[in-house]
């Protein structure tokens, strides 16, 4: 009954407690998982295995950082998985075209091209949502189909593989190399997250994102260009996808029609597990990263423990997002 909801919303609650619980919960869950993992398999807690897990979580973690912006501003982007496949395919095709002879220059141009393509895909999502006044769920469901379809068409149902061995050799270390002893994907996660946290918590734009996500009318009456803020959030999402592409391509050197399938589920799950409110208005970048680790850890534990078939990974991830929503809601109610 509507009466109940009105009351629940007005009921005074301690915000301090709420913030603490919500912010701490994902890290507590991460710690519990580490303990659980250590109990199932002694190899689990080793540095090598954990670094491996963190490295593999890089794609989803970086995409999820972008999703944190979109979700904080009150929108949703379902197209990230197909967007990754599409941008990665374009990047490989660009390098295969041989337009630039020098492999270093070619790679630099391809990186710039991928970033541009990611931003453009994000911009398209943003414009369809804001200018087109279409629910983000539907708008990005549409572009999800479009990007996926284009990828399938580009690959003609097969795979798109990076042909030049020189470029492969130069590019490989970006995924497999390390910097100051840390695998480069982990360095990438840290850098992207630091920048994102700075933008979200310490800049005017970040404040606008939170305001737009909390209450669009208040934002509009406060002179904030709501549609611009939302569109830029989609562009940030596109850029994050592009960065994930830059790590993805050197790993396998090829894409196919199934690249990045269900990554939107993982990215959104990471954001929700991290404590960002799905209705907008509260973004937690570090929580998102934590959420991405949790997802990868669950997969890793499943692999090492042999309890559950690893083919059920999607089922488990789907369950995690539902459980995370239930936990989020109960944390809000209690305090």
Partner 1 sequence: METNAAGQRTPVLAARRISKSFNGVQVLFSVNFDLQPGEIHALVGENGAGKSTFVKIMSGFEQPSSGEILLDGKPVRLPANGQAEHLGIVIIHQEFNLAEHLTVTESLFLGREITRFGVLDRKRMRAETRRALDLLGSRIDENAMISSLPVADRQMVEIAKAISKDARVIFMDEPTAVLSKEETGVLFEQVRKLRDKGTSFVFVSHKLDEVLELTDRVTVLRDGQWVKTAPTAMLDGESIAQLMVGRELSSLYPAKREPDVDEEIVLSARGITTGFVRDASFDVRKGEVIGFSGLIGSGRTELMEAVAGLRPRHSGEVTIRGVSMSSGDAHAANRAGLAYMTKDRKSKGLLLGSRMAVNLTLQSLDQHGKLGYLSPKSEANALARAMRRFDIRVRDGRVVAGRMSGGNQQKLMLAKVMETEPEIIIIDEPTRGIDVGTKQQIYHFISALARAGKSIVVVSSELQEVIGLCTRVAVMREGRIVGWLEGDEINEQEIMRYSAGLKKMAG
According to the binding rule CB under 8 A, does residue 311 interact with partner 1? Answer: no
According to the binding rule CB under 8 A, does residue 204 interact with partner 1? Answer: yes
Site for partner 1 in 208-247 (CB under 8 A): 208, 210-211, 214-215, 217-225
| Closest CB 85 distance from partner 1, rounded Å | 33
Q: What is the torsional sign of CA 72, 321, 198, 31?
A: positive
| Closest CB 220 distance from partner 1, rounded Å | 7
End-to-end CA separation in angstroms for the chain: 22
Judged by beta carbon, residue 90 or residue 212, the one nearer partner 1 is 212
Candidates 115, 242, 95; CA nearest to 170 is 95
Q: How many whole angstroms separate alpha carbon 332 and alpha carbon 22?
A: 8
| Closest CB 281 distance from partner 1, rounded Å | 6
Binding mask 165-194 for partner 1 (x = CB under 8 A): ------------------------------
Stretch that binds partner 1, among 25-33, 62-70, 201-209, 317-325 (CB under 8 A): 201-209
According to the binding rule CB under 8 A, does residue 41 interact with partner 1? Answer: no
Per the CB < 8 A criterion, the answer to whether 211 and 224 are in contact is yes
Binding-site size for partner 1 (CB under 8 A) equals: 34
Q: How many whole angstroms separate alpha carbon 65 and alpha carbon 168?
A: 28
Q: Per-residue DSSP letters for 108-144?
A: HHHHHHHHHHHHHHHHHHHHHHHTTT--HHHHHHHHH
According to the binding rule CB under 8 A, does residue 12 interact with partner 1? Answer: yes
According to the binding rule CB under 8 A, does residue 133 interact with partner 1? Answer: no
Site for partner 1 in 273-292 (CB under 8 A): 281-282
**What are the two backbone dihedrals, phi and then psi, of residue 99, each rounded to the nearest 5 degrees?**
-65, -30
Of 172, 202, 329, 334, the one binding partner 1 (CB under 8 A) is 202
| Closest CB 332 distance from partner 1, rounded Å | 11
According to the binding rule CB under 8 A, does residue 15 interact with partner 1? Answer: yes
Burial of 258 (0-12, 13-18, 19+ CB in 10 A): middle
Residue written as token pair 């189909």: 145
Judged by beta carbon, residue 112 or residue 218, the one nearer partner 1 is 218
Residue written as token pair 């798109």: 160
How far is C-alpha 145 from the geometric centre of its chain's CA atoms? 18
**Residue ranges that bind partner 1, judged by CB under 8 A:** 1-4, 6-7, 11-16, 202-208, 210-211, 214-215, 217-225, 281-282
């Amino acid at each position: 009954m509507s009466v109940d909801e009105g009351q629940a919303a007005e009921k005074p609650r301690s915000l301090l407690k709420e913030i603490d619980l919500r912010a701490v919960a994902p890290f507590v869950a991460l710690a519990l998982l580490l303990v659980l993992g250590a109990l199932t398999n002694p190899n689990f807690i080793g540095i090598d295995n954990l670094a491996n897990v963190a490295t593999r979580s890089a794609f989803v973690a970086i995409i999820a950082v972008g999703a944190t912006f979109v979700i904080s501003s009150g929108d949703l982007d379902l197209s990230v998985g197909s967007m990754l496949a599409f941008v990665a395919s374009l990047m490989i095709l660009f390098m295969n075209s041989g337009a630039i002879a020098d492999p270093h220059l070619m790679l630099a141009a391809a990186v710039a091209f991928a970033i541009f393509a990611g931003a453009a895909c994000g911009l398209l999502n943003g414009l369809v949502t804001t200018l087109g006044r279409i629910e983000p769920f539907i708008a990005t469901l549409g572009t999800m189909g479009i990007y996926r379809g284009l990828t399938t068409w580009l690959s003609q149902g097969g795979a798109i593989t990076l042909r030049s061995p020189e470029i492969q050799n130069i590019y490989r270390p970006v995924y497999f190399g390390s910097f100051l002893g840390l695998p480069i994907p982990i360095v990438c996660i840290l850098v992207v997250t630091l920048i994102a946290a700075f933008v979200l918590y310490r800049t005017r734009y970040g404040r606008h994102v939170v305001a737009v996500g909390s209450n669009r009318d208040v934002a509009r009456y406060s002179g904030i260009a709501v549609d611009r803020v939302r569109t830029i959030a989609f562009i940030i999402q596109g850029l994050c996808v592009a960065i994930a592409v830059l790590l993805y391509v050197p790993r396998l050197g090829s894409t196919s029609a199934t690249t990045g399938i269900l990554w939107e589920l993982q990215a959104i799950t990471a954001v929700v597990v991290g404590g960002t409110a799905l209705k907008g208005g509260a973004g937690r970048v570090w929580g998102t990263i934590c959420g991405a680790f949790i997802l990868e850890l669950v997969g890793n534990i499943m692999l090492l423990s042999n309890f559950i078939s690893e083919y059920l990974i999607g089922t488990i991830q789907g369950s995690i997002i539902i459980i995370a929503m239930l936990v989020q809601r109960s944390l809000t109610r209690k305090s």
